[in-house]
Amino acid sequence: MKSFKIYNATELWQRETSLPSVATFSQSLDNMLGTAGVQLGSITELLGLPGSGKTQLCLQLCASVQIPKDLGGLDAEALYIDTNTNFTISRFREILSASLLRCQSILEGPLQVTEDQALDKLHYVNAFGLEKFCAFMYTLPKFVEAHPNVRLIALDSISYPFKEGISTKQRTGLLFRLMADLQRIAVENQIAVVLTNEMSTRVGLASGAVVGSLGDAWAHRCNARVLLSTPHQHTDVSEPTHRLALLLKSNVSPSAVARFQITAEGIRDVE
């Protein structure tokens, strides 16, 4: 007979507040999330139109998860699941290099890791197409077991594999099974899972509304939902691009708005 552990509220609070987080390199974003970043053991969805910064934030988190423990980081590894050819290694190297330099300047001394060693801490898989995506997700538990230092999984994007060749009913059933597996992996292995999602137009009685893809039921499957947007049209490509982040849903924090910018070095606060 299976026994169940019953916790009191104090124990639950201690468990929840003791879980570390992956910093975004933007204090404004970290404060908005309410957990000093993206918390381990949780699933966070990044919504937004193309160019809103979803992939850039994923790349930053993949670098941030390597922050040394001397600086309060995790000194861990990341897995990037690319379903839409969004990942570029040159851009990740830029962000990673800037992150390492920032850590080095704070420590006022050389880091114990080289850039090549840091690159080895990012695991990448292209999962283009629904069949290949599902096949990899089926093997994900074995991958996590073989790589116990992985503390972040970035899935960019969750909606793209389901664009064609599958009915709404099939998609819903498959998505919920995948999410159940992801939630189990996140909680049991203390991994932060970050999913990007695209926007779609919902046609109403009067006019269409731009909403997140995959429907209303999907919106309740994540611990946090963050909507990214570009407040103003940006014309000068040499200047950092400002973004807004709206916390639509969270288990631990009220709705809030944060401002951040995408620079050559990665995600940063607006100065």
The tens digit of pLDDT for each residue in 172-224 reads: 788 888 888 999 999 999 999 999 998 765 545 444 445 666 766 676 778 99
Range 22-269: architecture per CATH: 3-Layer(aba) Sandwich (3.40)
DSSP code for 107: H
Among 152, 144, 155, 138, which residue's Cα sits nearest to residue 45? 155
Report residue 260 CA to chain centroid gap. 16
- Residue 29 three-state SS: helix
Per-residue model confidence (pLDDT) at position 17: 59
Per-residue model confidence (pLDDT) at position 112: 76
Q: Does residue 266 carry a pLDDT above 70?
A: yes
In the chain, domain spans: 22-269
* pLDDT tens profile 4-39: 677 766 656 556 656 789 999 999 999 999 888 999
Compute φ and ψ for 247, nearest 5 degrees: -80, 105
